[in-house]
Amino acid sequence: MQLLILGKGKTGSLVADVARERGHAVRSMDINDNQHASALTAANLNGVDAVIDFTAPEAALENMRAVLTHGSRIVVGTTGWYAHLDEMKFLAQKSGALLYGTNFSMGVQKLFRLTADLAKLEGYSFSIAETHHTSKLDAPSGTAITLREIIQAANPGIEIPITSHRVGDAKGEHVVTASSEVDTLEIRHDAHSRRGFALGAVRGAEWLVKKNGAWDFRKICDQL
């Protein structure tokens, strides 16, 4: 496969490394190479099997619009843009393909499922805490928001506080707590490196080839 990686930060660089390890040809661009998606032309996307985006929320929106307009495929690991999700889904249904997710780690996918089970408990209050690196732009994290949505799906109308911390080069920590008068339960995921996110994104790109439409990574991760 020919992959185009948007973003040369810590995660984007690791995505490129993992893709090469898995035998793919890789090109990478940072913001200086691709101001306002200006490099995502039909000519530059010709021969690209999938684009993988780990940039910033506003840049990701511009990148998605350009890629999907040209009928190409894009995997988006960037979060903070979901207010525009319906628009991006509409574009993907017209042409191209979109795979998005608040977290591409398979361990976090298990966290989502364990949280859905925990949320069924009666008589408990729930809270979420998350910690990321100081350069992460969105707070709370997309993963924490997904965890809150999972709990609220089982408990409509309840408030679930999220506490966000930004510390050093933290790779990503999420803790879901359920408390009652008799006990407290916690489910925790602590990323030791960004490799899990990178590997999931590359595997997602491999899955997306020759498909058209829009998918949430949570819905297809069992197919990888």
- Catalytic residue numbers read 132, 136
**What phi, psi does 33 have (nearest 5°)?**
-85, -20
**Which distant-in-sequence residues (6+ apart) come within 8 Å of 9 by Cβ?**
54
- Helix or strand or coil: residue 33? coil
**What phi, psi does 155 have (nearest 5°)?**
-140, 70
**Cβ distance 96 to 74 under 8 Å?**
yes
Strand 173-179 relative to strand 184-190: parallel, antiparallel, unpaired? Answer: antiparallel
